Amino acid sequence: GKYPVDVIKNMAKIVSNIEKDKLYMSSNKPIEKIETEDEDRYITDMVCYSAVRIAKKANAKGIITLTNSGYTAFQISAHRPHAHIIVFCSDRRVLAKLNLLWGVRAFYYDMQKSTDETVIQVNMLASNYGFVKQGDFVVNLNAMPVYESGKTNTLRLSTI
């Protein structure tokens, strides 16, 4: 392009801002080192860790999650799974950050449905976007109940 130096400067600024974000800087301790009494996000961390392990064992093609803050996506991304990381979020500001994470493909989603309906719908969207196909295993993560924002506490292994 016409302004390669400006492009690189802007990219460096973006990376620098993301790396300063508290969610980006959160540590991903080995599972044995996480202490229940000191860890605010213990359940979410365990669910994310388990999702990556299950995805690997089941050869799942995708880990599909809904998030409000982006924390779940950050945790999944930090484990570098081989499965697609497909994230749905209703906050456009968070959505912009999520697309900068390793392996994350984030999409806007603001439907307020039951947990079962939401899982069916996001799985269908992941299939429509070409990440998974009929017969593939996917791991779904969400907060239960889905219409209440909160910590990710539910893991489901599904077939498309």
Q: Is the Cβ–Cβ distance between 160 and 134 less than 8 Å? A: yes
In angstroms, rounded to a whole number, what is the distance separating the alpha carbons of residues 84 and 25? 22
CATH number for the domain including 10?
3.40.1380.20
Model pLDDT, residue 110: 85
User: What span, in angstroms and rounded, lies between the C-alpha atoms of 43 and 99?
Assistant: 24
- Distance between CA 22 and CA 7 in Å, rounded? 25
| Helices 71-78/42-58 angle, 10° precision | 50
The two tokens of residue 39 are: 């860890």
Per-block average pLDDT, block size 10, for the chain (160 residues)? 91 83 58 55 86 94 92 90 92 90 91 81 92 95 72 90
Q: Which residues contact 106 (CB under 8 A, 6 or more apart)?
A: 73, 87, 88, 89, 95, 98, 99
Token pair for 114: 């039951």
Quote the number of domains for the chain: 1
Q: Which domain holds residue 74?
A: 4-159
What integer pLDDT is reported at residue 18 of this predicted model?
78
Distance CA 15, CA 10 (A): 9
